Homo-oligomer: A and B are copies of this chain.
Amino acid sequence: MQRRHRVVVIGAGFGGLAVVKGLRDEPVDVVLVDAHNFHTFQPLLYQVATAGLDVDDIAYAVRGIFRKQRNVTVRMARVTGVDAEARLVHTDAGGPIEYDTLVMAVGAVTTSFGVPGVDEHAFPLKSAADAVALRQHVIGRFEAASTDPSLVARGALDVVVCGGGPTGVEMAGGLMELFTKVLAKDFPQLDVRRARVVLVEAGERLLASFSEASSEHARTSLAKVGVEVVTGTGVASVTPEEVVLGNGDRITAQTLVWAAGVRAHPLAATLGVELGRGGRIVVGLDLAVPERPEIFAIGDVAADRDTPLPQVAQPAIQGGRHVARQIGHRLAGRPTEPFRYVDKGSMATIGRHEAVVDFPGGRRLSGFLGWVSWLGLHLVYLMGFRNRANVLVNWAWNYLTYDRAARLLTDDPPRRRPT
């Protein structure tokens, strides 16, 4: 039997899933490779970090998603490199995988920009494990301060969030809500009202990719709930108990959330092709790599030649669907088409009853209506009925009771049987 055209997709994020789904009816064998056996709904990671949701509310088993799609094989393995000459994907489990077409959907990784102390002491927020580690750390600091009150003066309860994009804004708002509505009741002996959340943004305004009105609304809303917003200066260095800003200010804080910057996944560099800003793979109009047309790149790892697309879910999803169609065109002998991104707007939530939404064309929404739109959209996009129902239960519970069930410190190292 002749081998069918094999498409290898690296990465089970929004882009990778969209490609695989789009190839449902094509005469290809698809191999989806990811280091994890689940997809992570990244826009809600901050909810996990602030104890509103638990990991399995925002993660979904990849094998479950593609159970009924016959032409897909899921391979859980870490990709160690791509040999573009030999058309091989090297992995740490089960050997290399040959491809006829390769889709790079590996996304972005956090970068410290070389700021001293960030790699050692800051908490990134790119993966489910990051979110859990951050949650455990924050609540662990409260537990520690409740037994040793001297830790309060040493910043045990204080958090600096670096980066004023949607992730930073949502983290800052979510943390303040966790502090004032939940932990203040859990720790009556601590003066939680004095706990600081400082949001630091090097640029001149928060949510730089949003309209100025939304930026301003986010700033005043955050200030209203008690978040201190500092713009125009970045983080210069960090130690376990102090964050030093670019303007020389020193903030005593035992937690630094690093939502400041990402760069392309280092796998991009193993292709040996032209890389753009932030190490992203430069692609042509059809999202194929000019030097290697059998390789496509989408989402946060791909660089548009013109205006860079925002590093959120929509460009990855739309890019994934586009690439699946182009693979179909090529197999049918048709020419490929240019990718056209359809802007569906941007949204960021600030807390209870408060979110900003920018629609394409300049219309905006904020306050309660913005928040309800945000809630609805995220529920619709979350994969699978079960997760949606659980998320709804968790959110309803949080909303009605100001309680958070996910604030468990379950960090015993797992016992692993050596094999």
Contact = CB atoms under 8 A, between A and B. Distances in A.
Given A417-B123, A417-B137, A410 B55 contact: yes
Contacts of A93: 144, 147-148
Contacts of A147: 75-77, 93-94
A59 B405 CA distance: 8
A70 to B, nearest CB: 9
B132 A408 contact: no
A129 interface: yes
A132 to B, nearest CB: 6
Interface stretch (A61-69, A168-176, A242-250, A340-348): A61-69
Contact of A397 (B254, B386, B405): B386
A38 B410 contact: yes
Interface in A365-414: 384-387, 389-390, 393-394, 397, 401, 403-414
A154 B212 CA distance: 62
A411 to B, nearest CB: 6
A384 B413 contact: no
Given A64-B186, A415-B133, A56 B59 contact: no
Contacts of A73: 189
A123 B415 contact: yes
A418 B119 CA distance: 12
A126 to B, nearest CB: 11
A128 interface: yes
B405 A394 contact: no
Contacts of A129: 410, 412-415
Most chain B CB within 10 A, of A384, A387, A408, is at A408
A109 to B, nearest CB: 14
B240 A419 contact: yes
Contacts of A55: 54, 408, 410
Given A54-B54, A387-B405, 12 more contacts: A54-B56, A56-B406, A60-B405, A61-B186, A63-B187, A64-B405, A76-B409, A129-B412, A254-B419, A386-B394, A393-B393, A413-B413
Given A54-B54, A419-B240, A386 B405 contact: yes
Interface in A71-85: 73, 75-77
A401 B385 CA distance: 11
23 contacts: A54-B54, A56-B405, A61-B407, A67-B185, A73-B189, A75-B146, A77-B147, A93-B144, A94-B147, A123-B415, A124-B415, A129-B412, A129-B413, A129-B414, A129-B415, A132-B410, A132-B414, A133-B415, A136-B416, A137-B416, A386-B403, A390-B393, A390-B405
A414 B129 CA distance: 6
A36 interface: yes
Contacts of A144: 93, 419
Interface string A291-308: 000000000000000000
Q: How large is the interface on A (under 10, 10 to 19, 20 to 34, 35 or more residues)?
A: 35 or more
A389 B396 CA distance: 11
A111 interface: no
Nearest to A132: B414
A241 to B, nearest CB: 8
Contacts of A401: 386
A220 to B, nearest CB: 31
Contacts of A407: 37, 61, 64
Nearest to A124: B415
B384 A393 contact: no
Interface string A248-263: 0000001100000000
A324 interface: no
A405 B55 CA distance: 11
A67 B404 CA distance: 12
Most chain B CB within 10 A, of A36, A38, A386, is at A386
Contacts of A404: 61
